[in-house]
Amino acid sequence: MRTNIYKHSVLTAGIVATMSMTAANAAEVVYDEKDAFSVANKATATYTVADNSNQQIAESNEVVVNVTETGAFSLVAKNDDTSSGGAIGDDLNENIAIHPAAGSSVNFNHTLSNDGNISDTYTIALANPSNSLPASATIKYQIKEGNANVGNSETIAIGGTITLKPGQTADITITATTSSDRVIGNDTSFTVTATSKYLTDKGQTTADKKATNTNNAITTTPVYAITKSATTNLNNKIFDTNNANAYVDYTITVKNEGNIDGTAVKITDALPAGLVAIKTGEDNYTAPTVVASGTSTAKDANISTNGKEITVIGQDIKMNETITVTFRAKKDTTTPATGTNITNYALVEDDVDGNGSFDLVDSSGDAADTSVSEKTYEDTSTGNYKGKDSNSNATITTSNQTRNLAIKSNTLDQEVALISQNNTYIYTITNKGTDIVEAASADKVYFTVAPTTNDANITINEAEVFVDANDNGSYDSGETLLTKTANGYDLNEAATTGLAPDDFVKIGVTVNTNGSGSNLVGGTNNIDDSETMTVTVLPQGPVAGTPAPANASVSSTTTMKGVNLLKYQAVAACKAGLTTLSWTTDSISGGEAKPGNCVYYKITAENTFSDASKVINGLTVTDTLETPKIIYEGDFTSETSGGSPAAKATYSNPDLVATFDSLAASEIGTIYFSAQISQTGTN
């Protein structure tokens, strides 16, 4: 409040300036001048006296009244600013709320009082504007006597005047309008002054003729910190467009970090190409939810008919309270290419200035969301400002997940010797799927190595299943030996970081044989015995939401080969032609089997390998004659069925030793010789 008082008197002898200034407080100025003017008065009378015609004159004594003028007024601030620590009736309207939008208005109330004893005219002026307030202003006033209005409300321009009689007041409302948008917390102010014409005419200084109030406005608005996040059914950011059951769970949180409550807020999430909200009755449907913290009341979230938009309408959000919205989306009919980042934004709109249209527009993506023109009223001059948004956790990446684990044998079926060790088979297991890493952790993919017939003489070395890391087809020191479990061998042990698409690992398996080549009665001949070994890849279940593919398997057969040795005989007169003989493996009795005749022998040695590389070398056939029952005739001959050289023989009683330098695969070497039957079995 600022009060100016002026008292002025004039003595009959002239003007005597006996002025004094009293400063009761910063808002009060008193100015005195006594005896501003005097009023002198006397009476005269004329009369006649009986019997006397002369006019008589009578004159009274003079009385004098010395008049004192008082010029006094006050200007006080009348807005209720007690909540900001102010007081009604001081000289400051403090922290009066104003909306942030350009063109917003705020009313400042003042009372101008004529506390003097003369009429006065006051000039109302505004000065010292800040932060675009006021860009313009209107001044209305209503004169009052006591509580009663005098006349009608009047409007004056800035610099206009108000005339008050003594004891009258004027309730003044200054409507100040802003020229530009402001941000939350902007402190704006200007001064309003009332200047007394009476005091000005009396030559008073500026301070002694002017009362000043300050009007201060604070920008009040909700500001919304929007946080958007997305999690797919894989519990990560990968959205498998090849999986009809894939979905995305979105969460939107909207916190009012402003200095007033938000009312009738609209929250919208428009889904981009490739996504559509899951509606009631559809697979994987989860009802959208809205949860309010504090005392705010949650509204409903609604999915549009086409599933492309989720909205919450008319939501109140009190200061420092949060609204959380959740909903679920799935693949739309349009499938984005693999590796596409899908980002969408939540939009919050509020009619802060109350004009019926949304003026606050805030996207969780801020400048990244080019579909909207933001107006947030946020003060972004500091890093961690109120209303800061985050959309960084809301981007998902498409994949086209397919699963296909293939296995092939790098080794042909093998023919091996009857007695052999470390016959190695190499198998390549390849991830031929897309966008999925197989066997990235334990227990996701196994493989088994199993015989078909369990041949006792062909053994799979289960303790030497290994990773052929150096790709040389055999186990070497330092390479990983895999451990057999109840489920088989864990592929993750072979490929510890898993197999990305097109990655492969080579697995080695060794087979040992322990066969026999005897054609004796009661003996065992394992030539051509075989065992088929099957290696099967066993995916154990879904990976990243994609079901396990079919098992994959490949088989390898190990066949025992070697020299099949057969002996034939015939009995005839000595020196008979070989072509005339009847060969048999059976026993011969009677007939030609008599002393003096000869027993003819034919021995065949067959290289049963079909692999051309499997040449039999240094084949030595020994036949021990039962002398003296039979006597070697010295007639050894030999032939082969192929191009290999015939055998050469040596005889040292009782052993006939025939040697083939080599026999090719599938080739038969034959030797012939005879021995004469003795007369008595002793000579």
Same-domain pairing of 334 and 256: yes
Considering the chain, what is the average pLDDT of its residues?
91
Same-domain pairing of 598 and 670: yes
Structural domain contains residue 285: yes
| pLDDT value, residue 23 | 31
Which amino acid does the sequence have at 111?
A: T
Same-domain pairing of 607 and 650: yes
Determine the structural domain holding residue 608 and report its residue range. Answer: 563-677
| pLDDT value, residue 87 | 93
Structural domain contains residue 25: no
Mean pLDDT of all residues in 221-229: 98
Which amino acid does the sequence have at 460?
A: I
CATH number at residue 241: 2.60.40.740
CATH number at residue 432: 2.60.40.3450
Is the pLDDT score of 268 beyond 90? yes
Structural domain contains residue 23: no
Structural domain contains residue 63: no
Element (H, E) at 325: strand 322-331
Q: Please classify residue 478 by burial: count the beta carbons closer than 10 Å to its beta carbon, then call 0-12 exposed, 13-18 middle and 19+ buried.
A: exposed
Same-domain pairing of 376 and 292: yes
Count of domains for the chain? 4
Same-domain pairing of 75 and 202: yes
**pLDDT one-digit tens code per residue, 115-149:** 999 999 999 999 887 766 676 889 999 999 999 99
Same-domain pairing of 460 and 585: no
| pLDDT value, residue 212 | 95
Structural domain contains residue 522: yes
Structural domain contains residue 478: yes
Element (H, E) at 361: strand 360-363
Same-domain pairing of 184 and 142: yes
Final residue of a structural domain among 530, 560, 590: 560
Place of tokens 């009795």: 589
Mean pLDDT of all residues in 52-60: 88
Is the pLDDT score of 59 beyond 80? yes
CATH number at residue 149: 2.60.40.10
Which amino acid does the sequence have at 374?
A: E
The answer to whether the bond into 645 is cis (omega within 30° of 0) is no
Closest among 477, 446, 636, 458 to 557, alpha carbons compared: 458
The answer to whether the bond into 654 is cis (omega within 30° of 0) is yes
Same-domain pairing of 535 and 584: no
262, two tokens: 């938000």
User: What is the maximal distance between C-alpha atoms in the chain?
Assistant: 235
**pLDDT one-digit tens code per residue, 171-198:** 999 999 888 888 998 888 899 999 999 9
Same-domain pairing of 380 and 460: no
Between 14 and 553, name the one with better pLDDT. Answer: 553
Q: Please classify residue 546 by burial: count the beta carbons closer than 10 Å to its beta carbon, then call 0-12 exposed, 13-18 middle and 19+ buried.
A: buried
| pLDDT value, residue 223 | 98
Cα(first)–Cα(last) distance of the chain, in Å?
161
Is the pLDDT score of 38 beyond 90? no
User: CA-CA distance, 26 to 74, in Å (whole number)?
Assistant: 12
| pLDDT value, residue 10 | 27
DSSP character for 434? B
Mean pLDDT of all residues in 494-505: 98
User: CA-CA distance, 192 to 91, in Å (whole number)?
Assistant: 10
Final residue of a structural domain among 184, 219, 254: 219
**pLDDT one-digit tens code per residue, 420-441:** 999 999 999 999 999 999 999 9
SS3 category, 548:
coil
How many helices and strands (H and E) does the chain possess?
A: 3, 48
Closest among 219, 229, 218, 256 to 387, alpha carbons compared: 256
Same-domain pairing of 368 and 381: yes
77, two tokens: 């601030």
Final residue of a structural domain among 353, 383, 399: 399
| pLDDT value, residue 32 | 54
User: CA-CA distance, 427 to 533, in Å (whole number)?
Assistant: 12
List, as own/partner pairs, every contact residues 549-553 make where C-beta atoms lie below 8 angstroms and the sequence separation is at least 24, other chains included: 549/403, 549/404, 549/405, 549/433, 552/405, 552/406, 552/407, 553/407
Element (H, E) at 218: strand 210-219
Mean pLDDT of all residues in 554-564: 98
SS3 category, 542:
coil
Contact 230, 238 (CB under 8 A): no
**pLDDT one-digit tens code per residue, 629-672:** 999 999 999 999 999 999 999 999 999 999 999 999 999 999 99
Structural domain contains residue 50: no
Model confidence band, residue 519 (pLDDT cutoffs 50, 70, 90): very high
- Mind giving me the DSSP string for 255-267? EE-SSS-EEEEEE
SS3 category, 460:
strand
Is the pLDDT score of 256 beyond 60? yes
| pLDDT value, residue 320 | 98
Same-domain pairing of 83 and 179: yes
Closest among 400, 397, 395 to 435, alpha carbons compared: 400
Taken in order 227, 231, 235, 239, is the CA torsion positive or negative? negative
This prediction's pTM:
0.70
Structural domain contains residue 304: yes
Which amino acid does the sequence have at 334?
A: T
Same-domain pairing of 496 and 419: yes
